[in-house]
Structure 1
Amino acid sequence: MANVSSVSDILELETLGHPESSTYAVFFTLLFVYIALLITNFGVLIIIIIERNLHEPMYLLFCNLSVNDILGNTILLPRMLIDMLSKTRLMPYNHCVTQVFFIHTYASASHTILLVGLSVRLSRCRSLVPNFYCDNASLFKLSCDDVSINNIYGLFYTVVLFSSSMGTVAVTYTKIAVTCWTKKSAELNSKAIQTCASHLVLYLIMLFTGFTIIIVHRFPEERFLRKLMALLFHLVPANFNPIIYGLQTKHLRQKILQVFGVKVTLS
């Protein structure tokens, strides 16, 4: 423990792991994706705010999703893009802890995961963050203490919450399937497939990437896969939520079409 006090409060972040020759291609791709998610999510927010007939609980949920996606990706992507073009990727420890808080707040809101508080009080004897952004598991790896209890608690908490999430989704889709089967309505079945299929694909992507991030953190040699899954966990839902929850909602879709000058007939 004697070397703890000598550790700098300035942390060094790893690179994303892409080939150096493709830096600009990766940079502009991520920049385009970030701008696209800002436009779509802010667009949904503005339309819901200015249209009084959309001031209902269901659309408040859409607002929460958009705000969460904007905040969750803004705390990650701009800093990451700057670091990609910088020769040094340094971050003060306090800023790193702040990023951990917002990253896990984002994850909590989109998938009920929150594992922040345990890492802040740990001592540190390393300064290289084994990731391209700060997350809870990466901060654990900076500690010179035994973090077995933290890892066990984190895994237990994550398993419980993931199980609750998957259980809720399974029960909901089972009820939808039973209703469609008993009603035997072609129109009802068509609406259910249209709404549920896209939602289920997005949920499975988020579930798969979330599980992969947690599992691969236990295998240091698979750093690039972990980083790729972390990007997908943030970018895929943020870009598709406005489409799935916005464009498939009748009144919101009509308002979006009207904004772009498309005439629609309100039934």
Structure 2
Amino acid sequence: MENSSLFFNFNLTMFVNIGSYRYPAFVFCLLLFAMIVSANLVIILVISQQRTLHEPMYFFIVCLSINSLYGSAGFFPRFLMDLLSDTHLISHSACYIQIYVIYTYACNELTILSVMAYDRYVAICQPLHYHTKMTLKTVSNLAAFAWICSAIFNITLTSLTAKLPLCGNKIHKVFCAMWNISKLSCVTTVINNIVGLLLGGTTVSFVVSYVFYTYIRIILVCRRSSSEFKGKALQSCLPHTVTFLIYSITGFSDVALSRVNIEQLNPYVAVILSLEFVVIPPLLNPVVYGLKLPEIRKHLKPLKAG
């Protein structure tokens, strides 16, 4: 057994040697990062400056955009450096910080989407009580709850992972991940697995079940309503549905990738699959909400004209 004290850094081994193509790849990824930052900042600025958009639904959209900026900041700077580097070593402290940021980004996205499902449920199924239930205090508490739960879960899981004695330093990914580090442990990870399953499994199961429940209730209400009401409900719910599906598909891809033998996959396919989760939702969320919600789209037109 190798002595875990010999490893002062982790080695991210999924980076493919693309030779001189690293520079076009760097420029492309830098442009992606710039697009993510610009698109989400535009959504935040438009909603914050327009008083007509100071409503719960738009407040939660701002939360999504802030979370996208947070997650992208935890991934892209390090990834861009690695694209230009011949070695892909990352210190233990930097690795665990990246794990915390990326995993809280993932949890925040999930909890915010569940809160948004509740907001749409109240707006469509209980419209007369909407402003009574969705007060500024309630909205603030729901947003705080989403962020605090994510922070507590990930502080717990990251701390447990950081305490594991390691007998290797190779992480088969382009960024640090808990599961990959756990596989390097010299000792059993039963406690980590149980805690991770309880926290992660319970959270995901509850959120997915709750989102499905709210949409079933919304569908039942729409069936008994006029065509005009159905159209407005669909227009209101469609961006959230698309966003939730994007998150679910990319999240599932990332989980599935961590459970298979990476070495049996085409290296380029493996890299693309590993990037989906940290690139696609932050890039597409502002596009979906900017194009699908008429109130935001209306205020974006003057910016385009300018």
User: TM-score band, normalised by the shorter chain?
Assistant: 0.7 to 0.9
Name 2:3's counterpart in structure 1.
3
TM-score (norm 1): 0.85
Task: Summarize the Cα distance change of 1:124–1:43 in structure 2 as closer, same or farther, 3 Å threshold.
Answer: same
Per-residue deviation, residues 211-244 of structure 1 (Å, max 9, x unmatched) = 2322332223356556433321122211222133
Residue 181 of structure 2 corresponds to: 139
Unmatched tracts of structure 2, length 5 or more: 112-149
Q: Which amino acid aligns with 1:27?
A: F
AA at the equivalent of 2:206: S
Q: Which amino acid aligns with 1:211?
A: F
Q: Per-residue displacement from partner, 1:117-166 (whole Å, max 9, x unpaired)?
A: 32111112212222111121122123212113322432343222221121
Q: Which residue of 1 aligns with 2:219?
A: 177
**Identity within the alignment, %:** 31
Asked whether the 8 Å contact 2:40–2:65 carries over to 1, the reply is: yes
Unaligned runs of 5+ in 1: 263-267
Query: Which residue, out of 168, 174, 179, partners 1:126?
Result: 168
Q: Note the C-alpha offset of 1:19.
A: 5.2
Quick check: 1:210–1:229 contact (8 Å CA) kept in 2? no
Q: Which moved more, 1:197-206 or 1:82-91?
A: 197-206
Distance 1:119 1:153 in 2: 11
1:155-213 deviations in Å (ceiling 9; x for gaps): 34322222112111111111121121111x22222333344344323322321222232
Which has the higher mean CA deviation after the structures are superposed, 140-149 or 17-26? 17-26
Q: Distance in 2 between matches of 1:73 and 1:14?
A: 21
In the alignment, does 2:273 pair up with 1:232? Answer: no
SS at match of 2:168: coil
Cα 1:157/1:18, change in 2 over 3 Å: farther
Distance 1:220 1:155, change over 3 A: farther
Q: For residue 249 of structure 1, what is the amino acid of its counterpart?
A: L
Partner residue, 2:27: 28
Alignment-derived partner of residue 231 in structure 2: 190
* CA distance in 2 between partners of 1:141 and 1:16 (Å): 19
Q: How many positions carry a matched residue from both structures?
A: 260
C-alpha separation between the residues in 2 aligned to 1:51 and 1:203? 26
Corresponding residue of 2:201: 159
* 1:249 equivalent in structure 2: 293
- Which deviates more, 247-256 or 218-227? 218-227
Q: Which residue of 2 aligns with 1:204?
A: 245
**What amino acid is aligned across from residue 216 of structure 1 in structure 2?**
L
Task: Spell out, residue by residue over 1:237-266, the C-alpha distance to the aligned partner (whole angstroms, 9 max, x if none).
Answer: 11222133344333332221122238xxxx
What secondary structure sits across from 1:75 in the alignment? helix
Q: How far apart, in 2, do the equivalents of 1:232 and 1:218 lie? A: 16
What SS is found at the alignment partner of 2:90?
strand
Q: Provide the C-alpha distance between the structure 2 equivalents of 1:188 and 1:72, rounded to a whole number of angstroms.
A: 36
Which structure is higher in helix share? Answer: 2
Kept in 2: contact 1:3–1:125 (CA 8 A): yes
Matched residue SS, 1:94: helix
> CA deviation digits over 1:56-79, x for unaligned, max 9?
333221221111101101210121
- Give the match for residue 265 of structure 1: none
- Preserved CA contact (<8 Å) 2:235 2:293: no
Amino acid at match of 1:109: N
Distance in 2 between residues matched to 1:230 and 1:151, nearest whole Å: 22
Q: State how far apart, in whole Å, the 2-side matches of 1:38 and 1:103 are.
A: 16
Q: In the alignment, does 2:103 pair up with 1:104?
A: yes
- The 1:180–1:52 alpha-carbon spacing in structure 2 relative to 1, beyond 3 Å, is closer
In structure 1, the residue matched to 2:79 is 80
Partner SS for 2:259: coil
Question: Equivalent residue of 1:116, what SS?
Answer: helix
Distance in 1 separating the partners of 2:177 and 2:220: 41
1:140·1:147 contact (CA, 8 Å) conserved in 2? yes
Per-residue displacement from partner, 1:6-54 (whole Å, max 9, x unpaired)? x232222123447557544543332222211111101111222333443
Match of 2:303 in 1: 259
